[in-house]
């Protein structure tokens, strides 16, 4: 039986809230030994974030899963010294303090490199480590607006719509994992050096706005608010069925449009609307015809016709729909994990699915400092008496 993909990789997660800790959590899902470093008595701010049950955060069991928690006070000289000793044994440090904060505390990258020249340090901040905004505070929801995404989201006659969760944080978390893995590969497989990864909360989303960038640059057109992608595909949109269900369907390629013609029994459309350019020129007509077709059928009838013809279609799912869906169940997309505060708790599964080295959820988010003595003994060889002395000094 092969080991986990990241078995043997040691990560110090000194970050808070969502983006950077979520990145560390993905690495923990695949076997990295992730040590969550938290302030004594306070812990990660996400422990207090809603939603709550019985006064406790429902987020923490998921964001803290598979990590071991230790406490360490960066404001204490002994705490700083202890952190740098841990850096000597680590492969990666993931942090999301304001740019310059670690240097101010005396534990910045240059100081880390004195103790571990090949340490990889992944920074996650609102605006990145460079540029005129680098010292500004940044959180995911406002940075989604800064990215340009929110400007394009919603209806023309209404205010822009921000997603109901901090998408920027999760996208930045994915880029943090990507950058960290690139750095590990370069260091370990190509005999390179450790390096810094600079991730901002806005650039991951901006990277996805390729068509809007090209449209302004080449056509001089600013992409305006619309409830669906505009100017690239047709028919496209959110449609309502006879029994009141909302569905989303898009014909992003010519073959898919052919399939839609088959599903709707409209073969006469195939020749005059063979290309996207021709369809977009008559978009209002086509979208109305499609809307009328859905309105005359139940969801099950429309879904069966589209599935048979090969037209991508999905109902707009609520979380209850997801909980009831057999495909989600078959893919183990929802796991039930024991938790200390809430008993058995459902949470998203481990992604991506890997054939040889699959990830797993071994435990939910731990108590603050639950593994302090264990980790300090395992990583640094400290005795119970030495740990107790550090605790008495307020270092941990």
pLDDT tens track for 283-307: 999 999 999 999 999 999 999 999 9
Per-residue pLDDT for 113 more than 60? yes
How far apart CA 107 and CA 60 sit, in angstroms, is: 27
- For residue 231, what pLDDT band results from cuts at 50, 70 and 90? low
How does pLDDT run across 149-168, given as a tens digit for each residue?
999 999 999 999 998 889 99
How far apart CA 179 and CA 300 sit, in angstroms, is: 43
Average pLDDT of span 357-376: 97
User: Which residues on adjacent β-strands are paired with residue 314?
Assistant: 248
Residue owning tokens 């880029």: 175
**pLDDT score, position 229:** 66
- For residue 232, what pLDDT band results from cuts at 50, 70 and 90? confident
**pLDDT score, position 226:** 79
Told to judge if 169 belongs to the known catalytic residues of this protein, a careful annotator would answer yes
Per-residue pLDDT for 261 more than 90? yes
- What structural domains does the chain harbor? 10-207+335-392 (3.40.50.10540), 236-321 (3.30.1540.10)
Per-residue pLDDT for 2 more than 70? no
Residue owning tokens 């699959």: 358
Q: Find the catalytic residue in 29, 169, 198, 258.
A: 169
How far apart CA 395 and CA 40 sit, in angstroms, is: 8
């Amino acid at each position: 039986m092969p080991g986990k993909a990241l078995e043997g990789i040691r990560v110090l997660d000194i970050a808070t809230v969502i983006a950077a800790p979520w990145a560390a959590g993905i690495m923990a899902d695949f076997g990295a030994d992730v040590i969550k470093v938290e302030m004594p008595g306070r812990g990660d701010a996400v422990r207090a974030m809603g939603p709550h049950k019985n006064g406790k955060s429902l987020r923490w069991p998921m964001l803290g899963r598979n990590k071991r928690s230790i406490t360490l006070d960066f404001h204490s000289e002994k705490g700083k010294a202890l952190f740098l000793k841990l850096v000597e044994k680590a492969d990666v440090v993931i942090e999301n303090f304001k740019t310059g904060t670690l240097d101010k505390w005396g534990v910045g990258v240059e100081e880390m490199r004195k103790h571990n020249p090949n340490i990889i340090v992944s920074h996650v901040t609102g605006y990145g480590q460079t540029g005129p905004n680098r010292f500004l505070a940044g959180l995911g929801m406002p940075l989604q607006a800064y990215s340009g995404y929110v400007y394009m989201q919603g209806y023309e006659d209404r205010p822009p719509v921000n997603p109901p969760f901090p998408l920027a944080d999760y996208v930045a978390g994915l880029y943090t994992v990507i950058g960290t893995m690139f750095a590990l590969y370069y260091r370990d497989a190509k005999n390179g050096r450790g390096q810094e990864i600079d991730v901002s909360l806005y650039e991951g989303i901006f990277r996805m706005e390729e068509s809007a960038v090209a449209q302004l640059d080449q056509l001089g057109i600013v992409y305006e608010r619309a409830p669906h992608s505009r100017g690239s595909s047709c028919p496209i949109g959110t449609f309502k069925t006879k029994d009141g269900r909302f569905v989303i369907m898009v014909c992003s390629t010519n073959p898919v449009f052919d399939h839609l013609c088959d599903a709707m029994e409209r073969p006469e459309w195939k020749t005059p609307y063979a290309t996207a350019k021709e369809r977009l020129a008559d978009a209002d007509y086509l979208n109305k015809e499609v809307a009328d077709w859905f309105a005359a059928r139940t969801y099950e009838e429309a879904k069966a016709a589209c599935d048979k013809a090969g037209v991508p279609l999905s109902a707009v799912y609520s979380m209850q729909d997801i909980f009831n869906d057999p495909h989600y169940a078959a893919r183990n997309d929802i796991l039930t994990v024991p938790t200390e505060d809430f008993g058995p708790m459902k949470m998203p599964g481990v992604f991506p699915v890997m054939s040889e080295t699959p990830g797993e959820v071994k435990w939910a988010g731990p108590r603050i400092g639950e593994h302090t003595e264990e980790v300090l003994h395992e990583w640094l060889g400290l005795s119970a008496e030495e740990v107790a002395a550090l605790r008495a000094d307020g270092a941990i």
